[in-house]
Amino acid sequence: MSEYSGYDGNSLEFLKTNKISIGDSVKILADITYSGIIMPRYEHSDDKHIVLKLKSGYNIGLEISKIEEIEKIVSTEKIIEENEKIEKNEQLPNILLLSTGGTIASKIDYRTGAVTPVLTAEELNSSVPELAKIANIDAKVLFSEYSENIMPEHWLKIAEEVNQYSKSDYLGIIIAHGTDTMHYTSSYLSFSLAGFPIPIVLVGSQRSSDRASSDAALNLIGATKFLTECKTNGIYIAMHQDENDETIACHIGTRVRKNHTSKRGAFQTVGDDPAFLIVNNEIHNNMKTEFFTDKEFEPKIKINEKVALVKYHPGYDPSLLKHIIDSNYKAIIFEGTGLGHIGENMYSMVKMANEKGIFMGMTSQCIDGRVRMTVYESGRDLLDLGIIPLENMIPEIALVKAMWVTGNTENLDEIKEIMLNRIACEFSK
């Protein structure tokens, strides 16, 4: 990255005149006095402002014409991080942390002022020193992607990597992951690695680790504490229960979704309480039964991406469904209204899909509740046309399960049977 990335014109001249570069720690006198780190800018920004990262972690733009004085406090070259070497404590359990990206357990890169992921056990220990008192953490980077860029091919890489540790001496595995698509990844791992002998926890953060309100460290500490004491297996997502710092919730990987764009307690278990709560370092078990422990581990790490999630709405064009059918998709998951309905203008396309042997499953747009297609005549008509009700499966989880199932078999009867078989708590009993 250039020492003046994103700056041009007046703002570039301002920095050069004052011998300031990106990553320098500065004090600025304007309407008030500001202290922080000079940040890079977007390429298409104007040339009238500079960007400063405050100690709170927030970025602000300062108009250069209103800056009375700027003073370099520490230059980029003088900021050197030294991470203390750590030795394993033989009395503590071993935990593996696999990083896929996101802001969890990240740090400030003082060369640029940007947030970068923790890459080594030493960096992790430096970033979250409390972890060394709970477990020995081995850290490994699989890839570094924003969660919106994580695709089914990444799910396969994660599952294949995790599968290598099924007979290791690790007590559990943490997967650091961006939050936006984390429940897609957790659901794929839940199906492909059903019965995995040790617990797996996906952890993210809603706010980056350089912000005073960050949830990154506490989520990671909670996940580590959970792995060392839960005495169960299965795939979970560990995040803040609410805006407070007292409670971390561990959600079953197939019964959770992100329900808020930015709150720290964005993730919620749909239709039930979280499986576990970590309250002031104590584990509270809300599991009705130890469902995961009785599953024999037989990894099935395959996938078929030719599955569509169709969110029905008034005015939905049936020709869009025909395009899916003509594109040789193997399954269609409908996100229908209410108890599981779509408009009768869709019926001819549904009949065509059924005749072509495409699996069709019905979920609901409602956040909670169970699909019941026998209540109304329209639902019974759709049953006759071959659509299978999928209980209270979350639409996104049904999509991922259909990708996994059709990746493992092409037989329609087997697809129907497995989709209705409760593999990993994806629907309630």
pLDDT tens-digit readout, 331-383: 999 999 999 999 999 999 999 999 999 999 999 999 999 999 999 999 999 99
Q: State the pLDDT at residue 22.
A: 86
Contact criterion met (CB below 8 Å) for 371 and 271: no
**Side chain identity, residue 193:** L
Give the 3-state secondary structure of residue 106. Answer: strand
Mean pLDDT of all residues in 110-119: 54
- Find where tokens 């972690």 sit: 57
Report the distance separating Cα 321 and Cα 323, nearest Å. Answer: 5
Q: State the pLDDT at residue 246.
A: 85
Q: State the pLDDT at residue 240.
A: 87
Q: State the pLDDT at residue 260.
A: 92
Residues of CATH 3.40.50.1170 domain(s) within the chain? 94-294
Report the distance separating Cα 359 and Cα 95, nearest Å. Answer: 40
Give the CATH number of domain 307-419.
Answer: 3.40.50.40
pLDDT band of residue 115 (cuts 50, 70, 90) is: low
Query: 339: which DSSP letter?
Result: T
94-294 topology per CATH: Rossmann fold (3.40.50)
pLDDT tens-digit readout, 8-57: 899 999 999 999 988 888 999 998 999 988 888 866 678 899 988 887 66
Contact criterion met (CB below 8 Å) for 131 and 94: no
CB within 8 Å of 20: residues ≥ 6 apart: 26, 38, 70, 72
In angstroms, the Cα distances linking 135 to 27, 233, 421 are 40, 18, 36
Classify burial at 318, counting beta carbons within 10 Å of its beta carbon; exposed 0-12, middle 13-18, buried 19 or more: middle
**Whether pLDDT at 228 is above 50:** yes
Q: Which position has the higher pLDDT, 103 or 423?
A: 423
pLDDT tens-digit readout, 256-301: 999 999 888 889 999 999 999 999 878 999 886 555 556 679 999 9
Give the CATH number of domain 9-77.
Answer: 2.30.30.520
pTM value?
A: 0.85
Classify burial at 9, counting beta carbons within 10 Å of its beta carbon; exposed 0-12, middle 13-18, buried 19 or more: exposed
**Residues labelled catalytic:** 103, 179-180, 258
Residues of CATH 2.30.30.520 domain(s) within the chain? 9-77
Residues of CATH 3.40.50.40 domain(s) within the chain? 307-419
Report the distance separating Cα 157 and Cα 371, nearest Å. Answer: 33
